[in-house]
Amino acid sequence: MKNWKRVLVLLPAIMMICTVSVFAAPPKTWVVGFSQIGSESEWRTADTISVQNAFNEDLTFNLIYSDAQQKQENQIKALRSFIARKVNCIVFTALVETGYGPVLQEAKKAGIPVIMIDRDVQEADRSLRLTIMGSDFIKEGEKAGTWLADYLKKQGLDDGKKSINIVELQGTTGSAPAIDRKTGFANIMKQHANWQLTRSQTGNFTTSEGKAVMEAFLKADSTIQVLYAHNDGMALGAIQAIKEAGLKPGKDIIVIGVDGVKGAFEAIVAGEQNVTIECSPLLGPQAVQAVTDLRAGKKLPARIWTIEGIFDATNAAAALPSRQY
């Protein structure tokens, strides 16, 4: 009886100790391997910084960063080294869509979850990665095409009969955004029998290659009316080429880009680029949230979308001061 009384007296203190130890227990530190593809664009730099900052700000994560410098073999090596180090989770952006099957199988066998950000892989076994977070690249291509149709209509430039000559600067061959942005734009082209894709070549998502390819297009063809570039970096390079050819970008040639980088906003405000379809690189906070949920034992949705806008002469100037990348 005496013992029971003692327990009753001590009960509040015991409960407090238990509560404190349950709630104050810090989450287990997780080691996360992040395999990035390189630094081909202003967009990519913003993306890398966003992911690094978000993980480094949370002291319960230890981030190991690896830059593949645009080489798939470097990425595969990095993934293997993450597996050998037994990291708790891999965050991965795939340079191209295919060729990662075996290494992803190795991660699965080692019980290491893989979260894709930005660019996905095309593997028949979808269980090789837990989720993909980022933009809908097909929708971005469709938005570009729909914007063009509206613009041509408003300007009275498309009678539905006379051909509209379009050139395309593609992103890195085999990458998800290059494949999907092409498909999305082509979906809208199908609705306009007079739109013609007269030239299409890769500019590897870089400003310098965008410029060089556009120079070649302009030398070979004086009938270009529209440039559709798979990113703003290439569009900005092409704008230089158009100017050097003695033409006015944004007027003589309609310029469409994707990403929404500051340089594109400035070009729109200057009247040299007509539109940018936003693709946000600020994926760090979303990635940390997903890994945190995973560590807490929660199930991740198969797809985590990013919400994005369209910026042209009607709204770019107002949005420019608050752009983060």
Interaction of residue 231 with ligand AHR, rule CB under 6 A: yes
Residue closer to ligand AHR (CB basis): 40 or 209:
40
Tell me the closest approach of the beta carbon of residue 297 to ligand AHR, in angstroms.
30
From residue 145, alpha-carbon distances to 31, 152, 233, 277 in Å are 42, 11, 19, 10
Cα separation, 37 vs 34, whole angstroms? 10
- Residue 98 pairs in a beta bridge with none
- Shortest reach from residue 69's CB to ligand AHR, in Å: 13
Least gap, CB of 43 to ligand AHR (angstroms): 4
Measured distance CA(108)–CA(135) in Å, rounded: 25
Crossing angle, helix 284-295 and helix 42-57, to 10 degrees? 40
Listed ranges 39-47, 65-73, 108-116, 296-304: which one lies at the site for ligand AHR (CB under 6 A):
39-47
- Report the SS3 class of residue 68: coil
Smallest distance, Å, CB 201 to ligand AHR?
Answer: 16
Note whether 308 binds ligand AHR by CB under 6 A: no
| Contact call for residue 203 and ligand AHR (CB under 6 A) | no
259 interacts with ligand AHR by CB under 6 A:
yes
| 225 CB-near residues (< 8 Å, 6+ apart) | 157, 164, 165, 166, 253, 254
Name which of 41 and 170 has its Cβ closer to ligand AHR: 41
Of positions 242, 254, 264, 279, contacts ligand AHR by CB under 6 A: 279
Minimal distance, residue 111 CB to ligand AHR, in Å: 28
CA 42, distance to chain mean position in Å, is 12
Q: Which is nearer to ligand AHR, 43 or 100 (CB)?
A: 43
Residues between 89 and 108 with contacts to ligand AHR, criterion CB under 6 A: none
Strands (E), 192-286: 195-202, 226-229, 254-259, 275-278
Report if residue 44 touches ligand AHR, rule: CB under 6 A. yes
As a whole number of angstroms, the distance between CA 29 and CA 295 comes to 9
3-state secondary structure of 265: helix
Site size toward ligand AHR, by CB under 6 A = 13
Stretch in the footprint of ligand AHR (CB under 6 A) among 8-16, 41-49, 66-74, 249-257: 41-49
Indicate which single residue of 35, 36, 41, 276 sits in contact with ligand AHR (rule: CB under 6 A): 41
* Binding region for ligand AHR (CB under 6 A) out of 38-46, 65-73, 97-105, 147-155: 38-46
> How far is 52 from 47, CA to CA, in rounded Å?
9
By CB under 6 A, is residue 143 in contact with ligand AHR?
no
179 exposed, middle or buried (CB, 10 Å; 0-12, 13-18, 19+)? buried
In the complex, the residues that contact ligand AHR under the rule CB under 6 A are 40-41, 43-44, 118-119, 177, 205, 231, 233, 258-259, 279
